[in-house]
C-alpha cells in the first residue's frame, strides 16, 4: 500500500512540474477573459499587463504573470491568438490587477502604478518600470513613496512627460494595513513626472470619487484634463459607504497652466454608466475633439452596455455613435488613429463564469465607420466626425454658457483688430484739403529727382561690393553653412523641483508642459478578476 502512495505522490510531483514548465509564448491555444489589464500603445506596439495564467485554458497556472504584446505595424485578424506575444513578468514584481500603465517621453520605459492584489495583498513597494529595449523590470526610484490606490481614473501624457491619477481608494486588496472592509477614499489628483520620478498632489474639488474617466487634450497653454462620470461615496473613510453616480450633464475641466478646475455644463443625451473606458479622437475639419465613452454598465441595474457616445469639445455636446456588437464592461481603451482597441473586461456584471468569455484580449471599434472591425489596418489613421455632427458643430461650436470666462478663453481666441496706425484719421484728412496744387507738383518733381540720385549712389556701392566679394576666398563664406538653431517647446521640468509634496497633501503647484496628448484611461471597478 505504501508503494502505491509513493507512486501517487511522484505522479503528483510530475504533474506540478509539467504545469510549472508550461509557459505560453502566445494565445494560439485559446483565451477566455481577463479584467482589468493595464495597457498602453508605444512604438506601434500595444502592451498589456496583468494577465495571469490561471485564466488561460491552455495554462491554468495562476502563478504565471504575463506581459502581452500586439504588433501594430502590420495588418492582422483580431481573433488570431498567435499575434498576442507573451512573456513572463519578473517574479519580483507583485501580481496586481487594475494598474495604470504609463510611458515616458522617449517611449523607452513603461510605468505601472496602483491596482489591487490578486492573491495575498503584498506590501506596497511603489512603481515598477519595464525597459522596452531589454525587457527588464525594476522598482522605480521616486521622490516619495505613493500609496497604492485602485478604482481611480488615470491618463498618460508622455509628450509633457506627465501622467495623472484622480480619485480611487485603499482597502484590504491594496494594503495589508487594512484588515476589515474599510474603504479609505483618496482626495485630490496625483501628477507623476516620468523623467524625475516626482509625485505632486493637486486639488480636485469633485473628490472623493471612484471610477470615472480622465483624458488629456492639447488645448490652451499647457493642455487640459477632462473628467466625466464616477461615483461619490457618502463617507470618505469607513465601511458600507453609499455611492451616488455623478450626473452626466457636466464635465470637470482642469487647466494645467492655470492650475484650476471648472465644472462645465454639457448638452445632448448620454447614458449614465460605470466601469467604461474612454479615449480621444481629433477632427481637424471642425477643429474639435471627441471624447468617446465605450461600453460600461448601468450602475443601478448592473446591466452591461453596448452603447458608444462621444462628447464633442469645445461645444461640450454629447452625440450618439454606433454600438458595440456585444456588451463590454471593466475594460480599458487605447486609440491607434481612428481604430480604438478595447482591452479585456467582462461581458456581464459577475465575478465568476457568468462574466462571459471572448476569443482574444482585444477588440477594435472603428470611430470613423462606428462598427467593430475584425481586421486591423495600420493605414487607417484619418478620422472625421459624421456630417450631421460636423454641421451641428459648425452651427454651434461652443456651449450656450461657459462655466467661467477663463475657461472660454482657452477655446475662443479674442478677435484681433487692425492697428489704428493703418487707419486714416478723419481730422487729418480735413486739414490736408487746404494744401496748394503748386506745392504738390513741386513736391512730386523734387521727389523724383531725389530718387534718381539715390538709385545711382546705391548702384555704385553694390557694384563695388560685388567686385570685392568675388575676390574673397570661398572658405571664408562660413555663413552659408552656419548651424541651425532649434527651439524646444515647454514641458514638465526635467530637473528636481524645489519642494517635494506628501502623497496625501493638497498643496497646489504649477506644471510646465507643451501640447500633446495620448489617449488612455479607464473606468475602474470594485471587484472581480
Place of cell 452626466: 248
Contact predicate 87/65, CB 8 Å: no
- Range scoring the smallest mean pLDDT among 142-151, 166-175, 187-196, 367-376: 142-151
Flag the least confident range among 330-334, 363-367, 519-523.
Answer: 519-523
Residues 31, 56 contacting (CB under 8 angstroms): yes
Instruction: Please give the domain boundaries of the chain with CATH numbers for all domains.
Output: 22-411+503-522 (2.120.10.80)
Across the chain, mean pLDDT equals: 81
pLDDT tens by residue, 314-324: 999 999 999 99
Cell numbers found for residue 451? 530718387
Q: Residue 525 above 50 pLDDT?
A: no
pLDDT at 429: 33
**pTM check: above 0.85:** no
Over residues 430-443, the pLDDT tens digits come to: 333 333 333 333 44
| pLDDT band with cut points at 50, 70 and 90 for residue 277 | very high
Top pLDDT among 379 and 527 is at 379
- Please say if the pLDDT value at position 271 is more than 70: yes
Q: Kindly state the average pLDDT of the residues 99-114.
A: 97
Task: Check pLDDT > 60 for residue 61.
Answer: yes
The more confident residue out of 146 and 107 is 107
How many beta carbons lie within 10 A of that of residue 407, not counting itself? 23
Distance CA 39, CA 30 (A): 20
CA dist 42 → 77, 279, 415 (Å): 20, 16, 40
* Residue 475: per-residue pLDDT: 33
pLDDT tens digits for range 6-29: 545 545 444 444 445 489 999 999
For residue 231, give the nearest of 202, 266, 196, 206 by alpha carbon.
206
**pLDDT of 479 strictly over 50:** no
pLDDT surpasses 60 at 122: yes
pLDDT more than 70, % of the chain: 74
- The pLDDT value given to residue 135: 97
Q: For residue range 480-515, what is the model confidence (pLDDT) as tens digits? A: 222 222 222 335 655 443 333 333 333 333 333 333
Is 209 a residue whose pLDDT tops 90? yes
Per DSSP bridges, beta strands 339-343 and 332-336 are antiparallel
Which of 344-348, 402-406, 476-480 has the lowest average pLDDT? 476-480
Please state the separation of Cα 516 from the chain's center in Å: 10
Q: Please, which pLDDT band fits residue 149 given cuts at 50, 70 and 90?
A: very high
For the cut 70, the answer to whether the pLDDT of residue 459 exceeds it is no
Give the pLDDT score at 2.
54
Q: In what order do the strands lie in the sheet with 339-343?
A: 371-373, 362-366, 339-343, 332-336, 520-522
* Residue 337 scores a pLDDT above 90: yes
Q: Which long-range contacts (C-beta less than 8 Å, at least 24 apart) are formed by 166-170?
A: 166/190, 166/204, 166/207, 166/209, 166/212, 166/214, 166/227, 167/204, 167/207, 167/208, 167/209, 167/210, 167/211, 167/212, 167/230, 167/524, 168/114, 168/210, 168/524, 169/208, 169/210
In degrees and rounded to multiples of 5, residue 479 shows phi and psi of: -65, -20
Residue 130 has pLDDT above 70, yes or no: yes
pLDDT of residue 492: 60
To which residue does cell 477663463 refer?
406
Residue 118's pLDDT band (cuts 50, 70, 90): confident
State yes or no: pLDDT of 477 exceeds 50. Answer: no
pLDDT at 437: 34
The pLDDT value given to residue 414: 65
Nearest Cα to 321, choosing from 380, 376, 381, 281? 281
Model confidence over 396-419: pLDDT tens digits? Answer: 999 999 999 999 999 997 654 443
More confident residue, 374 or 438: 374
pLDDT of 422 above 80: no
pLDDT value, residue 168: 98
C-alpha 252: how far from its chain's center? 16
- The more confident residue out of 524 and 222 is 222
pLDDT of residue 52: 87
Amino acid at each position: 500500500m505504501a508503494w502505491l502512495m509513493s507512486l501517487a505522490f511522484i505522479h503528483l510531483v510530475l504533474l506540478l512540474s509539467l504545469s510549472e514548465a508550461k509557459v505560453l509564448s502566445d494565445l494560439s491555444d485559446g483565451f477566455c477573459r481577463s479584467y482589468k489589464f493595464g495597457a498602453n500603445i508605444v512604438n506601434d506596439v500595444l502592451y498589456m499587463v496583468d494577465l495571469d495564467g490561471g485564466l488561460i485554458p491552455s495554462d491554468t497556472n495562476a502563478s504565471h504573470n504575463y506581459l502581452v504584446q500586439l504588433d501594430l505595424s502590420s495588418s492582422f485578424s483580431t481573433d488570431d491568438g498567435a499575434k498576442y506575444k507573451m512573456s513572463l513578468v519578473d517574479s519580483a514584481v507583485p501580481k496586481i490587477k487594475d494598474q495604470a500603465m504609463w510611458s515616458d517621453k522617449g517611449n523607452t520605459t513603461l510605468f505601472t502604478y496602483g491596482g489591487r492584489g490578486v492573491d495575498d495583498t503584498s506590501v506596497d513597494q511603489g512603481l515598477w518600470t519595464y525597459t522596452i529595449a531589454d525587457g527588464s523590470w525594476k522598482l522605480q526610484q521616486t521622490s516619495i513613496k505613493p500609496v497604492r490606490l485602485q478604482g481611480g481614473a488615470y491618463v498618460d501624457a508622455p509628450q509633457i512627460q506627465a501622467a495623472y491619477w484622480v480619485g480611487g481608494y485603499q482597502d484590504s486588496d491594496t494594503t495589508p494595513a487594512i484588515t476589515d472592509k474599510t474603504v479609505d477614499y483618496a482626495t485630490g489628483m496625483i501628477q507623476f513626472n516620468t523623467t524625475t520620478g516626482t509625485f505632486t498632489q493637486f486639488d480636485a474639488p469633485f473628490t472623493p470619487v471612484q471610477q470615472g474617466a480622465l483624458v488629456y487634450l492639447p488645448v490652451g497653454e499647457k493642455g487640459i484634463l477632462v473628467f466625466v462620470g464616477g461615483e461619490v461615496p457618502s463617507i470618505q473613510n469607513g465601511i458600507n459607504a453609499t455611492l451616488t453616480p455623478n450626473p452626466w450633464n457636466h464635465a470637470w475641466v482642469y487647466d494645467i497652466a492655470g492650475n484650476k478646475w471648472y465644472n462645465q455644463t454639457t448638452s445632448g443625451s448620454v447614458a449614465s454608466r460605470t466601469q467604461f473606458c474612454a479615449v480621444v479622437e481629433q477632427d481637424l475639419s471642425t477643429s474639435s475633439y471627441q471624447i468617446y465613452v465605450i461600453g460600461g454598465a448601468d450602475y443601478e441595474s448592473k446591466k452591461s452596455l453596448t452603447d458608444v457616445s462621444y462628447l464633442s469639445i469645445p461645444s461640450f455636446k454629447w452625440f450618439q455613435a454606433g454600438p458595440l456588437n456585444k456588451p463590454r464592461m471593466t475594460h480599458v481603451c487605447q486609440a491607434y488613429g481612428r481604430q480604438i482597441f478595447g482591452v479585456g473586461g467582462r461581458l456581464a456584471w459577475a465575478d465568476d463564469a457568468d462574466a462571459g468569455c471572448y476569443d482574444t484580449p482585444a477588440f477594435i471599434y472603428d470611430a470613423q465607420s462606428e462598427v467593430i472591425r475584425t481586421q486591423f489596418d495600420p493605414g487607417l489613421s484619418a478620422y472625421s466626425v459624421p456630417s450631421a455632427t460636423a454641421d451641428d458643430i459648425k452651427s454651434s461650436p461652443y456651449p450656450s454658457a461657459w462655466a467661467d470666462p477663463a475657461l472660454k478663453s482657452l477655446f475662443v481666441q479674442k478677435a484681433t483688430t487692425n492697428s489704428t496706425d493703418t487707419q486714416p484719421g478723419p481730422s487729418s484728412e480735413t486739414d490736408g484739403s487746404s494744401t496748394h496744387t503748386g506745392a504738390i507738383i513741386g513736391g512730386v518733381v523734387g521727389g523724383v529727382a531725389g530718387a534718381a540720385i539715390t538709385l545711382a549712389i546705391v548702384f555704385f556701392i553694390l557694384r563695388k561690393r560685388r567686385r570685392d566679394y568675388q575676390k574673397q576666398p570661398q572658405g571664408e563664406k562660413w555663413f552659408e553653412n552656419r548651424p541651425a538653431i532649434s527651439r524646444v517647446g515647454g514641458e514638465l521640468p526635467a530637473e528636481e523641483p524645489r519642494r517635494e509634496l506628501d502623497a496625501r497633501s493638497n498643496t497646489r503647484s504649477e506644471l510646465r508642459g507643451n501640447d500633446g496628448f495620448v489617449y488612455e484611461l479607464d473606468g475602474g471597478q470594485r471587484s472581480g478578476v
